[in-house]
Chains A and B, each alone.
Chain A
Amino acid sequence: MKFMWKFIVRRIIITFPQLILLSVLLFLMAQAMPGDALTGLIDPNVPEEVKEQRREELGLNDPWHVRYVDWVSGIVKGDLGQSFRFKMPVTEVVTDRVINSFWLSLVTLVFTYLIAVPLGMLSGRYNNTLLDSAITTYTYIGFATPIFIFALVMVWVFGYNLGWFPTSGSVAPGLEPGTMEYYLSKFYHLLLPALSMALIQTVSTVQYLRSEIIDTKQKDFIITARAKGASESRVYNRHIFRNSILPIAAFFGYEITTLITGSIFVERIFAYPGMGQLFIESVLLRDFSVVNAVVLLFGIAMILGALLSDIILSIVDPRIRIK
């Protein structure tokens, strides 16, 4: 227990330099981008002297370390700057998008595990059978398939040709927020993008679960369980499953990275108004204060995801604590 706490505290401490380095990099990137914090606030036709005066007032002519501290303390207070495209605070632009992306990620994660657990269990239990090779072939091909090709094929088949699912947006137009139809429509719009991402993302978990189960099968405690007369299904569903599922659950923090990368493509293909789509739109329209905010939020999510997974893993699997 003592070692575990030591590990967790150490792991949390190294998160701070990571966050600081990320913020410095983003700050430097923001300096390299055309325009500054004033671009989103002011009419471009205002004379140069007025702009210069406003810059002075806003502290944009201060030395870089002063500006960096201003910028960071602004972020901590929830001020992410002004969007040049929307003419409103970035925080407001981002809020709705974050909520949409959160739901998309959540449903994707649920699908990922709903697919991974039965497939991994079957594949591991009946390894080297026809069923197992079918599942292994799926994971092999799924591993090599880029998400954007798969999502495109999914929207082509199920969205356009069969017409089972909507092909764009996050909710049908004209519905009153708060009603039952509104939420159902939201969920309906989530299904196809989430399923596309999950079917690709799940393959590494299936592979991991399969090899974990094949490994566990020959362990002493399983032989003991069998010797005591536990039925085959009890051995698999209780003893082996419980032993193999924990590391899988712990991976979900790392999945955040895959989710974020996937969402950039999937939200674009399904025209789903989330963070990924906002990011691409903002880069194309050169709305750099929004770009910076999105990269910052995604970066923080990834750092925290890795932190979470490392901590869960250290609780589940004492071996990784050694270092």
Chain B
Amino acid sequence: MEMNNINVVDQVHDPTKSPSGLRILWKEIVRDKLALVSLIFLIVISLSVFTISLVLDQDEIVKVDLFAINEPPSEEFILGTDYGGRDVFGQLIIGTRNTMLIGIAVTLMSGIFGVAFGLIAGYFGGHIDNALMRVLDFFQILPFTMLVIVFVAIVPKYTIFSFALIFAAFSWMGIARLIRSKALQEKELEYIKASQTLGTSHPKIIFREMMPNISSLIIVTMTLNLANNIGIESGLSFLGFGFPETTPSLGTLLSYAMNPQTLEHRWWIWAPAAVMILVLMLAVRNVGEALRRATDARQRRG
């Protein structure tokens, strides 16, 4: 029954056309209440975090104030202050912004490289595929978390950009493998053969013809990766190998809980950050799961 509804909507545009990829993705999100709520939540959270952080002054927030150490929530400080007398609410807002931005940046960097890698391996197949897959196999057996930590520790002139680069360098393998197996199937299809016969150049076939056709898979995988990357970034910052301490992040706020006094008696410092990380990850994942269902016609609800 529900399938009919889609067709009715689409017949308005063109009776012979099946619904477009983006339209199916959107339908699925609207149909899945949890995903819709998550999406609205994400939009509201990003809008408020970005507008509030425009007003907030980061230098003011990270300035140590020894007269206001570890204050519980009050009217002046909505979420109290940390061991350096810094406003926790301000750190939470800026931290959420930073965590989201670095998550998106890393997901895009590893995604772009992984997609290109997977497409090239899958499209050419044969020896090229073989060689590229051995490289990928090697990266995949490496102890990811530890290598990122070691590289963060030994990189001279450590900046947030080098962090994103190290992180992305070790996290492109999953998406590359997935895209490669999809590309292997896709290149057998007639439209690719036709283009090759017509003499279209390889890069053009790969990126202008093949990539748009698997774009929904790319969107889905990147969304699910974003949820993971937010978690991994927070974990690394929690251990002290992510954002430098002068830049607030959710993981850094959480790491103050490593002090037993803070963990036991000052929940306002670490608990909001913990909830924020968890809710962000769940929300992004809910949206991603709805998108994943949308790409598989058998699982679709919409």
Contact = CB atoms under 8 A, between A and B. Distances in A.
B227 to A, nearest CB: 7
Interface stretch (A98-106, A109-117, A222-230, A259-267): A259-267
B285 interface: yes
B282 A144 contact: yes
B99 to A, nearest CB: 12
Interface string A283-310: 1101000010011001100110010000
Nearest to B257: A152
Contacts of B241: 283
B263 interface: yes
B274 A167 contact: no
Given A155-B263, A156-B264, A34 B154 contact: yes
B272 interface: no
B44 interface: no
Interface residues of A, number: 43
A279 B241 CA distance: 13
B26 to A, nearest CB: 23
A283 B153 contact: yes
A214 interface: no
Contacts of A284: 240
Nearest to B149: A283
Interface string A132-147: 0000000001011111
Contacts of A33: 154
A269 B144 CA distance: 20
Contact of A149 (B145, B150, B254): B254
B285 A149 contact: no
Interface residues of B, number: 34
A153 B150 contact: no
Contact of B147 (A148, A161, A295): A295
A156 B278 contact: no
Nearest to B145: A261
B167 interface: no
B146 interface: yes
A169 to B, nearest CB: 13
A149 B282 contact: no
Interface in A26-56: 29, 32-34
Interface string B228-241: 00010011001111
Contact of B277 (A149, A160, A280): A149
Contacts of A280: 149, 239
A283 B83 CA distance: 24
Interface stretch (A17-25, A61-69, A233-241): A17-25
A146 B234 contact: yes
A286 B278 contact: no
A152 B241 CA distance: 18
B140 to A, nearest CB: 9
A25 B142 contact: yes
Given A146-B231, A146-B277, A295 B270 contact: no
29 contacts: A22-B142, A32-B154, A141-B282, A144-B227, A144-B231, A145-B278, A148-B234, A148-B254, A149-B254, A149-B277, A152-B254, A152-B257, A153-B274, A155-B263, A167-B260, A261-B143, A264-B146, A265-B235, A265-B238, A269-B258, A280-B149, A283-B150, A294-B146, A295-B146, A295-B147, A295-B150, A298-B143, A299-B142, A303-B141
The 8 closest A-B pairs by CB, nearest first: A146-B231, A160-B264, A283-B153, A149-B274, A261-B145, A144-B281, A144-B282, A298-B143
